[in-house]
Amino acid sequence: MTQSVKSSGSIPAQRRTPSTFASLRQTITRKRELTEAMAQEEILGRLDSRRAHWYRVIGRKLPERYVEDVYGQVCLQIAEDFEKHDASTVKDVDGYIAKVCIRCASDKLRRHTTEAKALQNGKAQTAMGHPQAVNDHDNVVARERYLIVRNVMAEVLTERQHLIYVLRHVKDLNSPEIGAALDISAVLARKELSAAQKALDRKEVKQRLRSLLHEER
């Protein structure tokens, strides 16, 4: 008697060997790397093609003479981001670049404050540490003139007035930029700057300042 065999009707699952899994992983990795490379290319292309726009974004927070330097920092920061994060996760390219521009400009403002405080405290070499400060002739002249009269200014100004004066006349920041650097309003920055100028305009103070600057010549 012949024994009947019942079929389940199902197709046996294909058996995957270790080499099959390795091949799949390689395919997925290649696709991910290709996508990431394309994303990086798009970001870098937008960074270059819209350079004038990014200059304007940076220029809203800093004087024009610092913009190119900060744009260079933006390029470096984005390159560092590529090493740490998958560029393909960036959905809003313009928004991402704008954020990096603002972050780098804010970092520059903080460096200005650090350098100004170093000058204020008589640590001139610390303030000279940033290449832009050394290469900018006007900045160098303003800094050297300030160091001559620093002690007099420290006597007649409050600490904040003194710092704001240095940020304005040595670092060349305007009131909104000073406000952003010190986390105060632009109105308060202007008020403190006006009070500092008023104190320095007193006859006896002006005579002392002029005497010091004349002796230096």
Q: Is the pLDDT of residue 207 over 60?
A: yes
pLDDT tens for residues 21-79?
Answer: 566 566 555 556 668 888 999 999 999 999 999 999 999 999 998 999 999 999 999 99
Least confident of 14-23, 31-40, 193-202: 14-23
* Residue with token string 């007193």: 202
pLDDT band at residue 121 using 50, 70 and 90 as cut-offs: confident
Total length of the chain: 217
Helical segments of 50-185, H only? 51-59, 67-84, 93-120, 124-127, 131-135, 137-156, 159-169, 175-182
Evaluate whether 117 touches 180 at the Cβ level (below 8 Å).
no
pLDDT tens digits, one per residue of 125-161: 444 444 444 456 777 888 888 999 999 999 999 999 9
Q: Tell me, what's the pLDDT at 25?
A: 63
pLDDT > 70: percent of the chain: 76
pLDDT of 195 higher than 60: yes
Q: Which pLDDT does position 20 carry in this prediction?
A: 60
pLDDT at 5 over 90: no
User: Alpha-carbon torsion 201, 203, 205, 207, what sign?
Assistant: positive
Kindly tell me if the per-residue pLDDT of 124 is higher than 80. no
Q: Which two tokens stand for residue 207?
A: 């005579």
The sign of the dihedral angle between the CA atoms of 33, 39, 51, 71 is: negative
**Residue 137 to residues 68, 131, 140, 197, 217: CA-CA distances in angstroms?**
16, 12, 5, 24, 18
